[in-house]
């Protein structure tokens, strides 16, 4: 379209070729291709007087100019969007304690920026990865142990399992607990995709059936049930407070057994990210390489 419109503007194929810095044959071929596409004669070729559009040619050239102008504007807007510090940042997360650390990450990320709108969505581990693949989210926080092969990700923190207990429980007085001790207690299970199967797998080698007191699909409900004395629980990520919704505290104790951890990871398109996404990703990495590495996990 650019070759076609340039040729008609000059009324001369050689002049158009000189402006475009291409061979005259390429301009002539472009005119032929446009006419073939519409199955119309659009250009009158006169050896001595160059080329001129007929009525249909003028109409097509005018519409091509509009399309080319829209295309050039789109390229400019795309470049500005890629470099912009503002706009909408869409983050999906499967992280039971994301409200404990995401606001702190945003404090740093947004400290020198205006005009940023956050769209945050909590999902299960599969849904959040689907959202990244389908373009619903710019970035995701998820558990890497359930990663799809097509998801590119950066590990942020490795979280070993720990035992959550009511403050008044005898095991809360110990520095650490064992899986043998936990298996004798009623268990409150975080019943989320991936999480439930992970916690169940921790007990597979136990000969005794672990009594289940309750299944709950939110971390805060698990914590509140534990605080109310309904049982103990095994979790991985640690909130910044021991208080629960019921007003009673809970105690986190490391588990002395050697158990597989879970890995919190960040996923986004690192090949061609918008600037705002790239800087959010860096803020996540900075947080977990500093304070997040000790605040969010229970270490032995």
Give residue 23's pLDDT: 93
CB atoms within 10 A of CB 47: 5
Task: Look up the CATH superfamily of 161-254.
Answer: Periplasmic binding protein-like II (3.40.190.10)
**Between 38 and 293, where is the model more confident?**
38
Helix (H) / strand (E) element for 88: namely strand 87-93
Cα separation of 100 and 282, whole Å? Answer: 18
State the pLDDT confidence band at 186, using cuts at 50, 70 and 90: very high
Give residue 267's pLDDT: 94
Query: Residue 239: is its pLDDT beyond 80?
Result: yes
Give tens-digit pLDDT for 52-99: 889 898 889 889 988 888 887 777 767 665 565 568 899 999 877 888
> What is the reported pTM?
0.71
Helix 2-10 with 55-83: angle, nearest 10 deg? 130
Average pLDDT, the chain: 88
| Chain-centre distance for alpha carbon 37 | 41
Query: Residue 207: is its pLDDT beyond 60?
Result: no
Strand duo 233-235 + 162-166: pairing:
antiparallel
Query: Residue 133: is its pLDDT beyond 70?
Result: yes
Same fold, 87-158+262-295 and 161-254: yes
CB atoms within 10 A of CB 51: 20
Task: Look up the CATH superfamily of 87-158+262-295.
Answer: Periplasmic binding protein-like II (3.40.190.10)
CB atoms within 10 A of CB 181: 17
State the pLDDT confidence band at 293, using cuts at 50, 70 and 90: low
Give residue 85's pLDDT: 59
All structural domains of the chain with their residue ranges: 2-83, 87-158+262-295, 161-254
Give residue 276's pLDDT: 86
Cα separation of 107 and 101, whole Å? Answer: 10
Q: Which class is domain 2-83?
A: mainly alpha
Q: Is 285 exposed, middle or buried (0-12, 13-18, 19+ CB in 10 A)?
A: middle
């Amino acid at each position: 379209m650019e070759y076609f419109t340039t040729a008609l503007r000059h009324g001369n194929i050689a002049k158009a070729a000189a402006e475009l810095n291409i061979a005259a044959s390429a301009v002539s071929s472009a005119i032929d291709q446009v006419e073939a596409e519409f199955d119309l004669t659009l250009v009158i070729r006169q050896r001595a007087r160059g080329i001129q559009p007929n009525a249909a040619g003028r109409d097509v050239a005018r519409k091509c100019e509009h399309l080319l102008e829209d295309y050039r504007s789109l390229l400019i807007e795309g470049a500005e969007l890629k470099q912009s510090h503002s706009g909408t940042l869409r983050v999906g997360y499967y992280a039971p304690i994301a409200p404990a650390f995401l606001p702190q990450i945003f404090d740093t990320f947004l400290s020198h920026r205006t005009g940023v709108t956050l769209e945050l969505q909590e999902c299960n581990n599969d849904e959040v990865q689907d959202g990244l693949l389908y373009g619903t989210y710019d970035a995701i926080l998820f558990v890497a142990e359930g990663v799809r092969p097509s998801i590119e990700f950066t590990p942020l923190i490795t979280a070993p399992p720990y035992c959550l207990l009511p403050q008044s429980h005898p095991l809360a007085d110990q520095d650490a607990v064992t899986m043998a001790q936990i298996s004798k207690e009623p268990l409150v299970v975080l019943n989320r995709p991936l999480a439930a199967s992970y916690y169940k797998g921790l007990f597979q080698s136990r000969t005794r059936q672990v009594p289940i007191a309750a299944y709950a699909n939110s971390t805060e409900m698990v914590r509140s049930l534990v605080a109310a004395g309904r049982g103990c629980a095994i979790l991985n990520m640690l909130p910044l407070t021991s208080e629960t919704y019921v007003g009673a505290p809970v105690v986190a104790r490391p588990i002395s057994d050697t158990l597989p951890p879970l890995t919190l990871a960040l996923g986004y398109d690192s090949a061609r990210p918008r600037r705002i996404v790239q800087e959010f990703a860096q803020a996540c990495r900075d947080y977990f390489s500093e304070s997040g590495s000790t605040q969010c996990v229970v270490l032995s």
